[in-house]
Amino acid sequence: MEKLANQFVKYVSEVAGQPATWRPRASEHLPLYLTQQYTQCEITIGRRSFLGILLADSASFRPATFEKHLRQIMVGATDVEGYCLVAEALPAYLRQRLVERKIPFVVPGQQLYWPELGLAVQARKKKQTPVAVAIVSPATQAVLICALTGGIPAPITPKSLAEKLGYTTMTMTRALDEIEANALGQVERNGRERLLNFPAGRRALWPAALPYLRNPVRETVRIRESQLLLKLRIQAGETALGGLSMLVPPKEPVYALGAQAWKKIASRVEQIPVEDTGTCRVQLWCYPPELFARDGQVDCFSLYLSLRAEEDARVEAALEEMMEKMAWS
């Protein structure tokens, strides 16, 4: 708190061109849930005094909730002419919402928005520090699956990745950020170019990436098989596993479809509630399965991810059998 106070005084004095001060302030008249979330202080800028509201935890912060709390806090603050929210850090979308709601706030060193003072500044350039994520985005997962299936034998730029996988370079830039932040690959700079490669090889990538990968299946729908064009029938789920192991495939075939392909046909096909003769199940994937499909079947890494939560012992055994036999061929 001391540190934030010092940063605040320094930053606001600089930006406002007037001396700013900061003093702690008691807040015992407030209910516990408010004192836990916010710390109050007295701020003076030049001759004007304000109530400073320090945010304890920016992760759970919601502008709309804050406005509700604010009304309660301001009841006991008749001696100041206004208030200002102070936070150590706030994500861009929250700062944007605060501006929309005209809530004055200061993130020392980064941004100050304070209409009452006639001030609004934002740091020109922010050093971007890629943050490690728990689960990588679908686009990043597509890049990793591409690498696992041998599609990235040499260092590659975001641009050529975008061409290869059908995403924008922007999305591939973010994918490289995530891969770098989670140490799943090597990202090197060669002049202006940013190059991604996997020096440890794809066999080492699989166990490293596994904790960060998601089930590619977003949703499963049932339609008449005849309504799915032959070229869209990429076998997935237990149907694909049946073809790659000793598992007996289900009677009702399972296919995988990307979001775009589904969008094209969704309005024309009828969804069937229960299994019937001539029906099939279609998994709607969060990345296009056709990018990595071979011989009309989804890639075995995505297949593994789509079935790893399966409790059935036969499926589990078949998955292991498939990974041993197929993955690196």
Partner DNA sequence: ACCTATCTATCCTGTACCTT
Partner DNA sequence: AAGGTACAGGATAGATAGGT
Structure token pair of residue 290? 């056709």
Which one of residues 10, 23, 29, 126 is an interface residue with DNA (CB under 7 A)? 126
Query: What's the CA gap between 44 and 41, in Å, rounded?
Result: 10
Asked if residue 186 binds DNA (CB under 7 A), the reply is no
Question: Is the sign of the CA dihedral 304, 307, 311, 316 positive or negative?
Answer: negative
Residue from 69, 97, 164, 233 that binds DNA (CB under 7 A)? 97
**Which lies closer to DNA via its Cβ, residue 141 or residue 239?**
141
Nearest to 277 by CA among 211, 233, 225, 232: 225
Q: Which amino acid is located at 294 in the chain?
A: R
User: Closer CB to DNA, residue 137 or residue 197?
Assistant: 137
DSSP secondary-structure letter at 154?
A: S
Does the footprint of DNA cover residue 215 (CB under 7 A)?
no
Measured from the CB atom, is 108 or 253 closer to DNA? 108
Is 226 exposed, middle or buried (CB count within 10 Å of its CB: 0-12, 13-18, 19+)? exposed
Half-sphere exposure of 53 (CA within 13 A, CB side): 27
- Residue 201 CB, nearest distance to DNA (Å)? 23
**Cα Rg of the chain, angstroms:** 27
When binding is defined by CB under 7 A, the residue of 21, 49, 137, 197 that contacts DNA is: 137
Determine if 167 is a binding residue for DNA (CB under 7 A): yes
At residue 132, φ and ψ (nearest 5 deg) are -65, 140
When asked if residue 169 is in the footprint of DNA (CB under 7 A), the reply is yes
Q: How far is the CB of 224 from DNA (least distance, A)?
A: 21
Size of the site for DNA (CB under 7 A): 31
Q: Residue 96 interacts with DNA (CB under 7 A)?
A: yes
Please state the closest distance from residue 166 (CB atom) to DNA, in A. Answer: 7
Give me the phi and psi of 192, to 5 degrees please. Answer: -85, -20
Instruction: Give the interface with DNA as residue ranges (CB under 7 A).
Output: 62-65, 92-94, 96-97, 122, 125-126, 128, 137-139, 157-159, 167-171, 173, 176, 192-194, 286-287
